[in-house]
A = this chain, B = another copy of it.
Amino acid sequence: MTAFAKRAEEFRPSPVRAVFETAMDPSVVSLAGGNPDLSLLPGGSIGTLAATLLADRGPEVLQYGSGAGTEAFRALVVNLMRSRGSQVTEDQVQPLAGSQAGLDLVTKLYCNPGDVVLAEGPTYVGALGVFGSYEVEVRHVDIDGEGLNPDDVAAALDTLAREGRRVPFLYTVPTFQNPTGVSLSTERRRALVEVCAARDVMILEDDPYGLLAFDRGADPAPTLHSLAPDHVIHLGSASKIFSPGLRVGWAVAPGPVRARMQIAAEAVLIHPSMLSQELAVAWLGSPEWPDVLDRTVALYAERAAAVTGALAEHLGDRAEWTDPTGGFFTWVRMPGAGLTDVLGRGIREGVVIVPGAACYADGRSSDAVRVAFSGVTPDRAKEGIRRLASAVRPA
């Protein structure tokens, strides 16, 4: 059969992936996948919303729709963005079949092969796959407990400029970051957008976790988009506040950029599922949603506490970790523990985690692992950390 294209090399099965697939045994505690907890979602009520949509507006929601999304969906995103501190107009909203599709789309529109994307070190593993598929080089800027240091970003950009490399954008998850759980401070946000705007480097702000602050009363940090709307493309998602299975996300971008995104998105997908868009409108616009979200986030906070408590108990003497204030993840560094086969050793002990090395593009080794607490009960989370401690204990 015909040979694959050069870029198909990027789509080889990874060893991590193979292990994940064999570790679906229910006796194994998975601290790997960033799955939302859906136990508080009222399936019956959501079913009724879907039934009403199909009974009353079947010929509309089952038919082809616009690549610009439905009007109601764009209006929903305007509202959600307002709760993230961003003033947005409907012509700046591009619906997506999940924000992963936005990573693909923005990379496709902005990156030539050989370009460099700047990203946090460590970063979201799924973004690395996208950048690789467009033959883009990733340079990491290591983060600390407050996220990216703007001075480090400036230095990296200046180095790349001296090297003559084109840098279309900085990719960042500034709030409750994947994989570390770290959030960028407000001061650093302001400095970061200045550093990038001064160098005409766009920021791709990936914000799936922004509405998941454990302290429900606190003011969230402003989105990067709210600070520099002409220099930031913002990606949002319904996956962590409602449902990943429906594949609903969005991009917010200046009007002319959004229009170009629509054309590129249509070539791949025509448009995102009409039913998914309208079901997101119905649920995320319903009076029950805020309460269900609050109670679900309380579960995440409880699970985060269970994980950090168990870390203190079992690994307190040789690990350090993020104390998450929102989102799904903590990042556990174990200096000197020698984590080269931490995934395999974990599975032998009955726990799956994401090895830190997977979160870097450059093949470096890592003394850390990502722990996702979102999808496991506190007891399972504690047991998982106990097993992780056994796995990394010197033999």
- Please give the residue numbers on chain A whose beta carbons come within 8 Å of chain B beta carbons, in ascending order: 1-8, 11-13, 17, 33, 35-36, 38-39, 41, 43-44, 46-48, 50-65, 97-98, 100-101, 104, 108-112, 115, 126, 129-130, 133, 168-169, 200-202, 230-231, 239, 242-247, 254, 257, 259-260, 263-264, 266-276, 279
**Chain B residue at minimal CB-CB distance from A201:** B2
Q: Which residue from B5, B57, B242, B264 sits with its C-beta under 8 Å from A112? A: B5
Q: Is the CB of A273 within 8 A of B260?
A: no
Residues of B within 8 A of A115 (CB): 5
How near does chain B come to A14, taking the closest CB pair, in angstroms? Answer: 8
**Chain B residue at minimal CB-CB distance from A247:** B273
Candidate in A52, A98, A108, A268 with the most chain B CB atoms within 10 angstroms: A268
Of the A-B pairs whose beta carbons lie under 8 Å apart in the complex, a sample of 12, sorted by A's number, is A1-B200, A2-B200, A17-B263, A35-B63, A36-B63, A50-B54, A63-B244, A100-B270, A130-B268, A133-B267, A247-B272, A276-B276
Residues of B within 8 A of A48 (CB): 51
Known: A8-B110, A273-B276. A63 touches B245 (CB 8 A): yes
Q: Is the CB of B63 within 8 A of A8?
A: no
A61 CA to B12 CA, complexed, in Å: 28
Q: Is the CB of B274 within 8 A of A4?
A: no
**Nearest 5 interchain pairs by C-beta:** A43-B58, A47-B54, A245-B274, A47-B51, A62-B243
Residues of B within 8 A of A5 (CB): 108-112, 115, 168
A161 CA to B357 CA, complexed, in Å: 44
Q: Is the CB of A260 within 8 A of B11?
A: yes
How near does chain B come to A294, taking the closest CB pair, in angstroms? Answer: 18
A351 CA to B345 CA, complexed, in Å: 67
A54 CA to B48 CA, complexed, in Å: 9
Residues of B within 8 A of A168 (CB): 2-3, 5
